[in-house]
Structure 1
Amino acid sequence: MSDDLVIHAQALRKTYRLYASPRCRLLDVLGLLRHNRGHYTEHTAVNGIDLTIRRGERVAIIGRNGAGKSTLLKLVTKVIEPTSGSIVINGETQALLQIGTGFHPDFTGRQNSYSYLAHLGISGVRAAEAVAEIISFAEIEEYIDQPVKTYSTGMSMRLMFAASTVINPDVLVIDEVLGVGDAYFAHKSFSRIEDMCAGDRTTLLLVSHDIYNAAKLCQRMIWVDRGCVQMDGDSIAVIRAYEESIREQEESRLRSKRHLALTRRDEVEPVLAHLAPRLRASLAEDILVGGLDIFGGDGTLGRWDAGSPDEGQGCRLALDAESNWAASTEVHNGRPAVRLLTHGSIFQKGGFEFSIPTFIDHVRCEAVTAQIRLATKTAQELEIAIFDPTDGRRYAGFVTPDGSGQWQILECSIRADSGVAPTARSVFGGGALRVTDVAFLNGDGMACHVFAVGDPLRIRLTYRIYDPTFDQRPMIIIGFLKDGVVTHRLWTDGLHLSYRMRPTGIIEIEAAPHLASPGNLVVTLSVFQEGAWKNGPPQQIFACNADVIDFHAKAYEIRITPSHDTPILAGTVFQQASTWRLEDQCHTTGLIGEAVIGDKREPA
């Protein structure tokens, strides 16, 4: 293996036996268990993974609980052996660290530190120096000679982290410790890991559910699901795909919940379907839907008509919180319709419920055609999807309106989904308000994407409010990222936005001077419900967070060039002082680190 390669795995597989009883486990250990059905089942935690990691890389492994992340780390650290396949580590095995190895609750913190270092082959003067550094970094001098069982969880994790990072190994393996201690110690831990990985000395392999903090450390990210690699690449791209996956899983969970409720209510097992933008985009304009017919076999399998919604043939609208249907029927060009709104649910869809015997059997045979009557002013491609209640499999067809606003009848065949993942969206949210245009301007008000350090930065946000009831002071945040790490933000929660007062408008933001350090900056724009950040940043994945109104994930880019005239804030995350204007409103904010240095509201 090349000296440049640190970890190289081929067709790596780990299968566990799940025994029917402790007796079966004991017999298997003794080699006396007959391989009869019922004695055990097999669970494959890692299933044929190929992995190559080069020296100095920082790689994060993400995925849901039970995806196989920790098992993969155990294979890398030689804690367990693979069932099949091979893995080669270019370096001494003692250099592969695992947080908390060798700590005993009855030993003191000092004894555990010495024991841990002895496990790594470190003793004598070198061990004494390392223990002194551990104690200093963990900041538990008063308690270092007390048994670890008397420590709080945070103190124990601080000690374990300090011990595990006291030496610079060839490969640093960390499993779920990004949240070590309080905010202060978490930041300190981040800095420690960054220092260890500086200059390509140490290769980092990190497992975490905190994908956003993981991206601050790692430029490469591997998404593992059900023991397989779903995606391996740039952290920003992987996070986008993972966010979309989490949103789809949440939608599937809610669909299963509704299916169960309908099954208890109706005698016929329901089949759920929806009308939504293709590729999980946001609805560009309202859609007036007059009816939906599903044809198969010798005639009509199901029908919903806006003119007689209660008399439909085995089909009705799903008027739940996950759909964007308006509450009442209206008339458009002489025909009744129900409006599918651009705002409401984060899932941006309108649901249907079919309660027809044998309906899903026709769908499974791919012998179904959908015909929909609609009117809209967008030519956005739409999907009509039907979900198998047994296994959740998706069957879909696609139609594209002409955008004329006139009634159309569109038809498509419903076929099994190809299994190809949709393009991960960079824009999502409930859609009550949407930012329709973002312009970056220089001090002269001209469009610009290249700025010198210290130049004034002006940003113009054009927005449109879709929800007639919208009336609040939302939290608007513009985040700037360099090499995947957030460097600074502009924010406001002081502008009053109201559909009644102003359904469309332009917000002018100015940061003068702009103190970003030189380099390419990726920009994320987010709009949250008023009060969403009252208790700090939301912890839920943004793609399925109901408090998100509009979110443009890493959607823009500007470049900052060096300047010798203005000091910059480099190597730290800061809140940039900024002024936000909307007609007669002006809100000025300034925040550095955790200390507010200014927040005043005044008329323009």
Structure 2
Amino acid sequence: MVSRLGFSAATVVKPDLLILDEVLSVGDAYFARKSQERIEELSTGSGTTLLFVTHDIYSAQKMCPRMLWLDNGGIRMDGASKDVAAAYEKAIKEREEQRLDRKRLAILKKNLSQKSKPLVCNIKLSEEKIADGQFLLFEAIRFYDSKNELHQMSFLHELDENGNGINLHTDYGSWGEEAEQDARKGRILEGHGSVFLQAPFSISSEQVLPPLEEEELYVEVSLYAKQEETMKITVLHPDGRRQYSGMIECSAGWNSVSVRLTHGHGGLQNEQKLSSERYGNRSIEITNVEFQNENGDACHVFSPGDPLKIKLHYRVNRNDIDEKPIFVFGFQRPDNVRSHRFFCKDIHIGPNQPKSGVIEVQTDKLLLGAGDYFVTTAIFKEGYFTSAEALKHYTTNKGVYDSHPKAYEIKVAQSLEEPLFNDVIFIHDANWTLCSEKIEV
């Protein structure tokens, strides 16, 4: 009640600056909606500057064109609301990866001898997709300091009962089978099979801890790549709190790449390269999306009522897929208001079908009003939206096969012939009938 009274008192006038701190999180739905309308009226019609403090990034994105992301008392990002919201979602995924590393560390400590001090390591690609026809083959890894070689192992050797060797974490990574290239053997990193396109593993070696803590530990990775790749290697300290990292740049062919591990974000200047607005485990992946007009020509600008065709190209990366996945196209405005979705639950994908194909979505009339629209394309596991999986955040959800959030954009042009199309989101078709009624005198 105090918050409601305070908001009413602050907005009864037309202030130059209006500061709101989580005010929309209190009260009922009627108060929240009424408050939003008043805020929009002040900020758009009266020239009031709005400073909106909230944990609800989607409400902030709707009302504010600019967003500041505060983290641990500092500004982590300042920019367009769409960009900041996307970066925040990626940070959630990064935090989930770190949680899984700590969870894996706790399990390793429990299963290994008390003297063992396991290090949870990870190699993550800069792009969350391995291009068609490309692959990575990891052969060996070596840890050393400025004086001595401390630990060396092959990615083909299993962890023994004493904790020696390398432990590949296949439960949340993309490790594949053994392979050979130019008479050298290694282990493949697949482009699918995990929410995170990464190569997680752990080792147990007390020798590497002192130079790691002093930031004098070097890592050399021997691998084969078909093209240039940028990767980030991270090592979680056994205390579960400190993380060390470095950037790896490799060329096409066989590489032996060395990097010094530093505390924090080693290679921060390249950190932005590690972001990709794409999520999912790639069991079925979207390889291309085409928007076409009624003539089959590529088109991204339409008029209200125009025919629209969308072609979704896909590839199946798992041999055991035998289900009816859910294909979705979602439309929303730049202010994050969702207008509508196209979705399909009736197309069966099975082991006896081709591994790639095209799905066409066609509507005789595009029923959107004038404006710009972002389009999200996604493929979900059969039954996803009625299962407990749907409650988990989609960026780290195994039920999400592939998702390209707001990755595409179309424009619906203003209609000169029918102005009623220009100030709405959606134009609903309906049948209108004049019904005569007999009146007795």
Q: Under a length normalisation based on structure 2, what TM-score does the superposition of the two structures give?
A: 0.81
**1:101 and 2:2 are equivalent in the alignment:** yes
**1:412-427 pair list within 5 angstroms:** 412-416=258-262, 417-420=266-269, 421-423=271-273, 424-427=275-278
Q: Give the Å deviation of 1:283.
A: 3.7
2:401 alignment partner, one of 535, 549, 557: 549
* Rounded Cα–Cα distance in structure 1 between residues aligned with 2:85 and 2:48: 24
Q: Give the Å deviation of 1:438.
A: 1.6
**1:27-42 pair list within 5 angstroms:** none
- The structure-2 alpha-carbon separation of the partners of 1:561 and 1:526, relative to structure 1 and needing over 3 Å to count, comes to same
- Aligned partner of 1:438 in structure 2 is 289
- Aligned partner of 1:395 in structure 2 is 245
- The structure-2 alpha-carbon separation of the partners of 1:536 and 1:445, relative to structure 1 and needing over 3 Å to count, comes to farther
- The structure-2 alpha-carbon separation of the partners of 1:538 and 1:214, relative to structure 1 and needing over 3 Å to count, comes to farther
- Kept in 2, the 8 Å contact 1:517–1:560? The answer is yes
Alignment gaps of 5+ in structure 2 = 431-441
1:460 alignment partner, one of 311, 330, 335: 311
- Aligned partner of 1:260 in structure 2 is 106
* Rounded Cα–Cα distance in structure 2 between residues aligned with 1:337 and 1:475: 36
- Kept in 2, the 8 Å contact 1:516–1:568? The answer is no
- The structure-2 alpha-carbon separation of the partners of 1:487 and 1:547, relative to structure 1 and needing over 3 Å to count, comes to same
* Rounded Cα–Cα distance in structure 1 between residues aligned with 2:417 and 2:356: 39
* Rounded Cα–Cα distance in structure 1 between residues aligned with 2:185 and 2:101: 28
- The structure-2 alpha-carbon separation of the partners of 1:305 and 1:277, relative to structure 1 and needing over 3 Å to count, comes to closer
TM-superposition CA deviations, 1:374-427 (whole Å, max 9, x none): 4x555443333333344433222413352x7xxx34322234203444243222
- Aligned partner of 1:231 in structure 2 is 77
**1:57-136 pair list within 5 angstroms:** 100-101=1-2, 116=5
Q: Give the Å deviation of 1:434.
A: 1.7
Of 197-206 and 500-509, more deviation after overlay is shown by 197-206
Q: Give the Å deviation of 1:538.
A: 5.2
Query: Letter of the aligned partner of 1:271 in structure 2?
Result: L
**1:369 and 2:216 are equivalent in the alignment:** no
2:142 alignment partner, one of 284, 288, 293: 293
Q: Give the Å deviation of 1:369.
A: 3.4
* Rounded Cα–Cα distance in structure 2 between residues aligned with 1:232 and 1:566: 40
* Rounded Cα–Cα distance in structure 2 between residues aligned with 1:564 and 1:512: 21
**1:197 and 2:197 are equivalent in the alignment:** no
1:219 alignment partner, one of 56, 65, 79: 65
* Rounded Cα–Cα distance in structure 2 between residues aligned with 1:339 and 1:207: 46
* Rounded Cα–Cα distance in structure 1 between residues aligned with 2:327 and 2:35: 29
* Rounded Cα–Cα distance in structure 1 between residues aligned with 2:281 and 2:408: 21
Q: Give the Å deviation of 1:309.
A: 5.9
* Rounded Cα–Cα distance in structure 2 between residues aligned with 1:575 and 1:358: 68
- Aligned partner of 1:317 in structure 2 is 167
Q: Give the Å deviation of 1:289.
A: 2.9
1:494 alignment partner, one of 325, 339, 345: 345
- Aligned partner of 2:435 in structure 1 is none
- Kept in 2, the 8 Å contact 1:303–1:312? The answer is no
Residue 358 of structure 1 aligns to a residue in which SS? helix
Cα-Cα RMSD: 3.5
Relative CO higher for 1 or 2, CA cutoff 8 Å, sep ≥ 6? 2
* Rounded Cα–Cα distance in structure 2 between residues aligned with 1:351 and 1:311: 20
- Kept in 2, the 8 Å contact 1:303–1:314? The answer is no
Q: Give the Å deviation of 1:210.
A: 2.5
- The structure-2 alpha-carbon separation of the partners of 1:321 and 1:195, relative to structure 1 and needing over 3 Å to count, comes to farther
- Kept in 2, the 8 Å contact 1:385–1:394? The answer is yes
Q: Give the Å deviation of 1:336.
A: 4.9
- The structure-2 alpha-carbon separation of the partners of 1:252 and 1:535, relative to structure 1 and needing over 3 Å to count, comes to closer
* Rounded Cα–Cα distance in structure 2 between residues aligned with 1:464 and 1:170: 54
Of 512-521 and 179-188, more deviation after overlay is shown by 179-188
Q: Give the Å deviation of 1:246.
A: 1.6
**1:532 and 2:381 are equivalent in the alignment:** no
- Kept in 1, the 8 Å contact 2:326–2:382? The answer is yes
Query: Letter of the aligned partner of 2:66 in structure 1?
Result: R
Residue 268 of structure 1 aligns to a residue in which SS? coil
* Rounded Cα–Cα distance in structure 1 between residues aligned with 2:328 and 2:8: 34
**1:271 and 2:124 are equivalent in the alignment:** no
- The structure-2 alpha-carbon separation of the partners of 1:460 and 1:236, relative to structure 1 and needing over 3 Å to count, comes to same
1:304 alignment partner, one of 154, 179, 195: 154
- Aligned partner of 1:358 in structure 2 is 207
Alignment gaps of 5+ in structure 1 = 1-99, 104-115, 121-160, 578-589, 591-604
Query: Letter of the aligned partner of 2:84 in structure 1?
Result: V
* Rounded Cα–Cα distance in structure 1 between residues aligned with 2:396 and 2:272: 16
Query: Letter of the aligned partner of 1:400 in structure 2?
Result: C
- The structure-2 alpha-carbon separation of the partners of 1:313 and 1:547, relative to structure 1 and needing over 3 Å to count, comes to closer
Q: Under a length normalisation based on structure 1, what TM-score does the superposition of the two structures give?
A: 0.61
- The structure-2 alpha-carbon separation of the partners of 1:410 and 1:512, relative to structure 1 and needing over 3 Å to count, comes to farther
* Rounded Cα–Cα distance in structure 2 between residues aligned with 1:186 and 1:463: 41
- Kept in 1, the 8 Å contact 2:370–2:421? The answer is no
- Give the % identical residues: 30
**1:241 and 2:90 are equivalent in the alignment:** no
- The structure-2 alpha-carbon separation of the partners of 1:378 and 1:422, relative to structure 1 and needing over 3 Å to count, comes to same
Of 206-215 and 186-195, more deviation after overlay is shown by 186-195
Query: Letter of the aligned partner of 2:120 in structure 1?
Result: L
Residue 110 of structure 2 aligns to a residue in which SS? helix
Q: Give the Å deviation of 1:177.
A: 5.0
- Aligned partner of 1:338 in structure 2 is 187
1:479 alignment partner, one of 322, 330, 336: 330
Query: Letter of the aligned partner of 2:190 in structure 1?
Result: L
- Kept in 1, the 8 Å contact 2:367–2:426? The answer is no
* Rounded Cα–Cα distance in structure 2 between residues aligned with 1:574 and 1:537: 31
- The structure-2 alpha-carbon separation of the partners of 1:191 and 1:495, relative to structure 1 and needing over 3 Å to count, comes to farther
